[in-house]
Structure 1
Amino acid sequence: MGPAVRLPVLFILITVMLDAMGIGLIVPVMPDLIREIQGGTLAGAALWGGVLSTVFAVMQFLFSPLLGNLSDRFGRRPVLLISLAVMTLDYLVMAVAGSIWLLLAGRLVGGITAATHGTASAYMADISAARDKAANFGLIGAGFGIGFVLGPLIGGTLGEFGTRAPFYAAAALAALNTAFGYFILRETVTDQIRRPFLWSRANPLGAFRSVARLPAIGNLLWVYFIYSVAFHVYPAVWSFFTMERFGWSPQTVGLSLALFGIMMALVQGGLIRLVLRWLGEWRTVVYGHLFDTVAFGLIAIVTSSTLALAMIVSPLMMTSVFAAFTRPGAAVYFPGAPFIVSLLLMLLSLALFLRSRPPAA
């Protein structure tokens, strides 16, 4: 791989890393930031935290196919560079935001600028030789994994210097990558492969219609959806829960989420292959559900942070439950309520999966 390819590959990896950092960066400082701007209780901050996380995820979902189609028509280079430039400005706006509405607008724009995964993947495909495609797409996955780890780590560490410090750092990273891409990124969309912009291909719901036509997959899609809603209790309320229950600082929250990301990477990158070979696919899913069910139950009632460290629907649901059980005057004070909800959802997902087992399995 020559320099003409290595430098663009490095740019793409940094870009997807910044995309993945978008949510994790703000999580460790979100409780303190919202209360600094809005005032009020941790329960009220949790509700706004759910809104901010949700709008970011919704914008990513809606605009990813749109940006991909714009890159097919106008080129990968302008879409990637403009997105990064706007991302830089967006982080600077959030760094000085003095109202919750300006912070909400920043999350809306941030979700759009972080929706370049499809464009980045298309650019990687354009510049990769046939023999290198699989390896290079593996690098994109690694870039996302690094971003998921670095986001909360940077947010938590810099959060010790103030709730705005992570945004200034993210703006600097995005600005440097914009300048880097401006000088080394060449356009790969030629007239031979250029495609007209079509709203039908930019529709994010189109994939659901295609998948719905596949036989015997509907039940498994529901399993995956319910499991994902339950599992995303971690980014949704972890910072609020650990601050309320254990009095953790943003740095500790960030470190715990970074450790969580590292463990996920180790399992998905290697350990899962051994487990699948030992248990098989069906039993791996069943035992995974059971393990998560026990973990959610333990976290909901744990009072030692030592044990806790061992362990575009979810944010609103989980933060609303957290707020309902921790706000002043709540009928029952129970910060662990979101994990009980996740426990029940995990059992529901497991029940659906058990129903879907092929008769011959």
Structure 2
Amino acid sequence: MNRTFWITSLIVFVNSLSFTILIPIIYLYGKQFELSDFHTSLLFSTYSVAQFFATPVIGKLSDRFGRKPLLIISLAGTVIANLIAGTATAAWVLFFARFLDGITGGNMSVTQAVMSDITSPKNRAQAFGIYGAAMGLGFVLGPALSLFAQQISIGAAFLAAGLVAFVALLMTILFLPETLDKQIQKPGNIFDLGLGNLIKGLAMPGIGILLLINFLIGTTFTMFTYAFQPYFLKVLDQNNQGLTLLFLTFGTLGVIMQTWGISILKNKFDVVKILFLGLFFRSSAFMLMPVWANINYFVVVSIMFSLFNALVQPMISTLISLNAKPEEQGTVLGLNASYLSISNGVGPVIAGVIVNQSQPITYSYPLYLAGFLTFLVLGFAIYSRRQYTPSNF
């Protein structure tokens, strides 16, 4: 791994730190504006739907104009959006800030394209594992910084996230070189921004089936993440400090699995089998979590979940990258992030509809449903594996 790889990993870590500062507080911040559970789910969805349309455009433009300028634009949008959210005085301002963050939020797909530019197919699974670990390390420190900022106010956590994203922006401007091969032929139609690929991508050999699988995976996962916080707070009767510490634990274990764990597993299993392993334990954990409303039991199941859940996205990204041509890396990884984003908009709404805040036990329903549906997605992934398994596997 060269210098650019580690610079990119550091940028990914700082960007992830900015994002994960917000995870423990978006639900609580929505409640400060007296939003219902359903309207809070729309707050999650606003960001995700905006990302759905923006990410393929950003990915396509990064294939045309380079990774660095698009990453700068994306990070600048995150900085501005978090500053607006942190100083919001009305709910509509908060919704606008989340929309702005989503419409400029293509940094994940661009940094993944950078990883693809600078690594060989042989080393790509390990590279995306380290990429995931850099994000996971953000999950370790992000909740801790969030907890510190919350001592001032919940809005201060958004300001802290904006400041951290600004650090990532400066690192990109000062230290990240351009990685796009200038000899790769650029598309002739300058008005082709990649939105048409949202549909065309589903028909791409080896790519379309993975986009569909990742959309389904993302939908079930965000049903879980939406219900996870209120279940922990209201059913298990825990506080926000305990929630933040649990997120910190998730991040720590995820880093261990995505560095040490993947390096061991890839010597025994191929990427497809590691994906199946992650999905099996993820779905099992979803189903087991609400069986017994006991904090000690919940923590044990959560530990199993955080270890194996860390395998899923790195393997999906690896398979998509291996099935794509070099000149399409930004485009297809942008499509992947886009479909993952829209799933992040669908999942919370489904969860928000089936819960009843006057009956806390209903927060377990999305967990059961997410587990059952993830088992179905695993079955579909196994059934269709020949369509996306690289020929050299």
Q: If the TM-score is normalised by the length of the shorter chain, which range does it land in?
A: 0.7 to 0.9
Query: Within the alignment, does 1:307 sit opposite 2:297 as a pair?
Result: yes
Q: For residues 162-197 of structure 1, give each alpha carbon's deviation from its aligned partner in whole angstroms, at most 9, with x where no partner exists.
A: 102222222221222222322223334465235134
1:283 and 1:192 map into 2 onto residues whose CA distance is 37
Counterpart residue type for residue 199 of structure 2: L
**2: CA distance between counterparts of 1:106 and 1:233?**
23
- Letter of the structure 2 residue corresponding to residue 180 of structure 1: M
Give the aligned partner of residue 387 of structure 2: none
Q: What are the superposed Cα offsets for residues 104-131 of structure 1, whole Å, 9 maximum, x if unpaired?
A: 1111121233322232233344455899
**Residue equivalent to 2:164:** 173
- Specify whether residues 326 and 211 from structure 1 end up closer, same or farther in structure 2 by C-alpha distance, changes over 3 A only: farther
Change (3 A) 1:239 1:281: closer
For residues 382 and 120 of structure 2, the distance between their equivalents in structure 1, rounded to whole angstroms, comes to 40
Following TM superposition, by how much is the alpha carbon of 1:94 offset from its aligned partner in structure 2, in angstroms? 1.0
1:77-92 equivalences under 5 Å are: 77-92=68-83
The answer to whether 1:346 aligns with 2:371 is yes
Report the counterpart of residue 350 of structure 2 in structure 1: 317
2:98 aligned with 1:98:
no
- What displacement does 1:97 show? 0.8
Query: Aligned match of 1:291 in 284, 297, 304?
Result: 284
Residue 243 in structure 1 maps to residue 233 in structure 2: yes
Contact 1:153/1:251 (<8 A) preserved: no
* Equivalent residue for 1:39, pick from 24, 34, 37: 34
TM-score (norm 2): 0.69
The question of whether the paired residues in 2 share the 8 Å contact of 1:56 and 1:108 is answered with yes
Structure 1 residue 13: Cα displacement: 2.0
Q: Following superposition of structure 1 onto structure 2, how do residues 43-122 of structure 1 map, counting pairs within 5 Å?
A: 44=36, 46-122=37-113
Gap regions ≥5 residues in structure 1? 328-332
Pair 233,168 (structure 1): closer, same or farther in 2 beyond 3 Å: same
Q: What is the 5 A alignment of 1:184-199?
A: 184-189=175-180, 191-193=182-184, 195-196=186-187, 197=190, 198-199=192-193
Q: Equivalent residue of 2:93, what SS?
A: helix
Distance 2:364 2:138 in 1: 25
Flag the 1:121–1:194 CA change in 2: closer, same or farther, 3 A: farther
Residues 191-232 of structure 1 deviation map (CA, whole Å, 9 limit, x = unaligned): 523513434576333332225898xx69x966x755543343
2:26 alignment partner, one of 18, 23, 30? 30
CA change 1:258–1:121 in 2 (3 A) is same
Task: Report percent identity of matched pairs.
Answer: 23
Q: Quick one: which amino acid aligns to residue 234 of structure 2?
A: E
Structure-to-structure mapping, 1:132-143, within 5 angstroms: 136-143=127-134
Q: TM-score, normalised by structure 1?
A: 0.74
Q: Which residue number corresponds to residue 219 of structure 2?
A: 229
Q: Following the alignment from structure 1 to structure 2, what is the Cα–Cα distance between the partners of residues 286 and 75?
A: 34
1:236 & 1:55 partners in 2: Cα distance? 14
Say which of 326, 333, 354 aligns to 2:357: 326
| Cα shift at 1:133 | 6.2
Aligned pair in 2 of structure 1 residues 234, 256: CA closer, same or farther (>3 Å)? farther
Show the 5 A alignment for 1:15-26: 15-21=11-17, 24-26=20-22
Q: Partners of 1:21 and 1:153 in 2: how far apart?
A: 10
Given that residues 296 and 342 in structure 1 are in contact (C-alpha distance below 8 angstroms), is that contact kept between their aligned partners in structure 2?
yes
Counterpart-to-counterpart distance in 2, 1:189 and 1:14: 19
Partners of 1:185 and 1:112 lie apart in 2 by 23
| CA separation of 1:247 and 1:164: change in aligned 2, threshold 3 A | farther
Q: What's the offset of the Cα at 1:67?
A: 0.8
The superposition leaves residues 291-321 of structure 1 with CA deviations (integer Å, 9 ceiling, x where unpaired) of 336414425xx1x333333332211111332
Equivalent pair of 2:276/2:382 in contact (CA under 8 Å): no
**CA, structure 1 residues 248+98, in 2 after alignment: closer, same or farther (shift >3 Å)?**
farther
Larger Rg: 1
RMSD (CA atoms): 3.8
In structure 2, C-alpha distance between the alignment counterparts of 1:85 and 1:355, rounded to whole Å:
39
Q: Is the contact made by 2:53 and 2:195 (CA closer than 8 Å) also made in structure 1?
A: no
